[in-house]
Amino acid sequence: MTGTYADIVVERLVRTYSAAKDPERAVRAAAYMRNRFPFLGLSIPGQRSLGRTVTAGLPAPGEDDLRDVVVACWELPEREYQYFACDVLRARVAVAGPGFLATTRTLIVTKSWWDTIDPLATRFVGDLVRLHPELATTMDDWAGDDNLWLVRTAILHQLHYGAATGTDRLFGYCTRQAGHPDFFVRKAIGWALRHYARTDPDAVRSYVARHAGMLSPLSVREATKHL
């Protein structure tokens, strides 16, 4: 193997994705994302299938390799490259040490929109915090940050914890940001509560009843959708 791991992956990735681009689909995808980003026009299944061929036959990356790949993907213009980075992070979370959270923060606050924030929050940050519990205090900081995407990440990071959810944190974050003016934070509150209701519906029902005057109608509606 010549060149760094990241160099090889990114070269293969750009060559493979560019060869499969679909300009008509790209226009529709960009419009769906309010024209915030250019697209190549790859379907999600197609993009993921091609992504697996990009890394086929390569050795498992180390933490520095992983960082270099995802940072390089974030610098590329088309959105599918950021999706590839999110998939790689999800698959390789065990490689990342606690210091990787700083890199993830950069990804969250750069080219920010729900389509990358949500997989980063629920599948990578959540798993990284589970592997390194000391990072939970950083979630406490993010829950009060001025950046709405860091707030959304903090609220959603326990989404798949189930019975292991730290309810003091979950409910505390929701209360802390109950009056947040942004749709994406209010929606995250409702989503996180609705998901936890699968594990403990009575706790969510009680929480919403006590805080109905603070929570936005959107948050309440989402939280109680299946109760």
**pLDDT tens digits, one per residue of 19-48:** 999 999 999 999 999 999 999 999 999 999
pLDDT at position 3 is: 86
Q: pTM of the prediction?
A: 0.96
Confidence of residue 1 (pLDDT cuts 50, 70, 90): low
Q: Is the pLDDT of residue 207 over 80?
A: yes
Question: What average pLDDT score do residues 81-93 get?
Answer: 98
**Length of the chain, please?**
227
Give residue-wise pLDDT tens across range 99-149.
999 999 999 999 999 999 999 999 999 999 999 999 999 999 999 999 999
Q: Is the pLDDT of residue 225 over 60?
A: yes
pLDDT at position 187 is: 98
Could you tell me the CA-to-CA distances from 171 to 41, 166, 174, 207, 208 in Å, in that order?
Answer: 39, 9, 5, 8, 10
Of 124, 97, 112, which is closest to residue 150 (Cα–Cα)?
Answer: 112
The span from the CA of 186 to the CA of 218, in Å, is 7
Task: Tell me the residue type at 44.
Answer: I
Give residue-wise pLDDT tens across range 60-73.
999 999 999 999 99
